[in-house]
Amino acid sequence: MLLIDDVQFWSGGKGRTQEEFFHTFNALYEAHKQIVITSDKYPKDLDGLEERLRSRFEMGLIVDIQPPDMETKMAILRKKAALESITLPDDVTHFLASLGSSNIRELEGYLANIIAQSSLGGKEITLSMVKDTLKNRVKDNTTKAVTVDKVQKAVASFFNISVADLKSKRRLQAIVVPRQIAMYLARECCNSSFPEIGTFFGNKDHSTVIHAVNKVKKMVEKDPEQQRIVRSIKYLLNK
Rounded to the nearest 5°, which phi and psi values hold at 37? -125, 135
The angle, 0 to 180 degrees and rounded to 10, between the axes of the packed helices 90-97 and 70-83 is 120
Cα 21 from Cα 160, distance rounded (Å): 43
| Confidence grade of residue 63 (pLDDT, cut at 50, 70, 90) | confident
Domains of the chain with CATH codes: 2-58 (no CATH), 70-143 (1.10.8.60), 148-238 (1.10.1750.10)
* Chain segment 147-168, per-residue pLDDT in tens: 899 999 999 999 999 999 999 9
Please calculate the CA angle 110-152-215 and round it to the nearest 5 degrees.
80
Q: 84-140, pLDDT tens digit by residue?
A: 999 999 999 988 988 766 678 889 999 999 999 999 988 999 999 999 999 887 754
Dist. CA 137–CA 8, nearest whole Å: 34
Helix (H) or strand (E) holding 83: helix 70-83
Q: What percent of the chain has pLDDT over 90?
A: 51
Phi, psi of 2 (to 5 degrees): -110, 125
What single letter denotes the amino acid at residue 177?
Answer: V
How is 107-154 classified by DSSP, letter by letter? Answer: HHHHHHHHHHHHHHHT----HHHHHHHHTTTSHHHHHT---HHHHHHH
234: CB partners within 8 A, 6+ apart: 67, 185, 189
